[in-house]
Amino acid sequence: MTAHSFALVNIKPLLPGHVLVSPLRAARRLSDLDHAEVTDLFLTVQQVGKMAERVYGASSLNIAIQDGPAAGQSVPHLHTHIIPRQSADLNEQGGSDAIYGMLEGEDGDVGRHLWESSRKRPKFPAVDDSTRKPRTEPEMAEEAQKLALEMTRQHL
């Protein structure tokens, strides 16, 4: 956590190391942030991205903001996706650009996954790919603790 931003692990990561960075203030859109918040958000994205590349052995990153509902934003709180990438990691899904379809589709619907994980009533079976199940809170907490420790080791 920084003065204006925080990072969290994704409940249903598209690829290993998929992390979200959000402003502390519940702003819906990038244009709702003030100068200090924008600066802090992108500096935090840069630092978390460096750490994610190192920890997950990535050679590249996808950094994405779906800024508004028409852009695919499923949660009314601005968030930045940081997705560590490796060469040929999505070849079986059609190549590296497949990540964009994943972000736009049900796989990237953070709001739906958060809503489903917090529901108290029984869930109806949902169509989903069988290899990507939502993670448990303990699994996410373990990864979050590991990454928080790694951030303390990060050279600024």
Hey, which residues are catalytic here? 79
* Contacts of 48 by beta carbon, 8 Å cutoff, 6+ apart: 7, 19, 21, 82, 151
**Distance (Å, rounded) from C-alpha 107 to C-alpha 77?**
18
* Contacts of 58 by beta carbon, 8 Å cutoff, 6+ apart: 17, 52, 84, 85, 86
